[in-house]
Amino acid sequence: MSTAVEHASLGTDPNAEHTEHAGHGNSHYYLVALALAILTGLEVLLSYIDIGAAFMPLLLTLMMIKFIMVVLEFMHLRKDAKVFHFLFWSGFLLAIAVYIGFLATFKFFLQP
């Protein structure tokens, strides 16, 4: 797809945010990656030990934290313009709402 995205040949860069990023060094990214690795480790660990009813909520929370971290930090959404937030999160939240509704009609969440 993105090869098809037209490369607007803008010589100057309108996005001031680039220079912003250059500010903090790459160590920030390493830290985020470290956190992601630890969270993944935690997830895997959880699936091996038995913690009862807390398992699912905890697992899903960890998953969402990882997801949001990559979006905000690696995809730079945290410092980016609001429209990008709007475009992405509206798709994401709509997907969650619609598909939860979809699974609910199959009584998916009532299964033991």
Q: Which residues bind other proteins (CB under 8 A)?
A: 1-15, 18-19, 21-22, 26, 29-30, 32-33, 36-37, 40, 43-44, 46-48, 56, 59-60, 62-63, 66-67, 70-71, 73-75, 81, 83-84, 87-92, 94-99, 101-108
Q: Are 22 and 80 in contact (CB under 8 A)?
A: no
- The smaller minimum CB distance to other proteins, of residues 7 and 52, is found at 7
Q: What are phi and psi of 69, to 5 degrees?
A: -60, -45
> What residue type is 9 in one-letter code?
S
Q: How long a stretch of residues is the chain?
A: 112
Q: In angstroms, what is the minimal distance from the CB of 60 to other proteins?
A: 7
> What residue type is 39 in one-letter code?
L
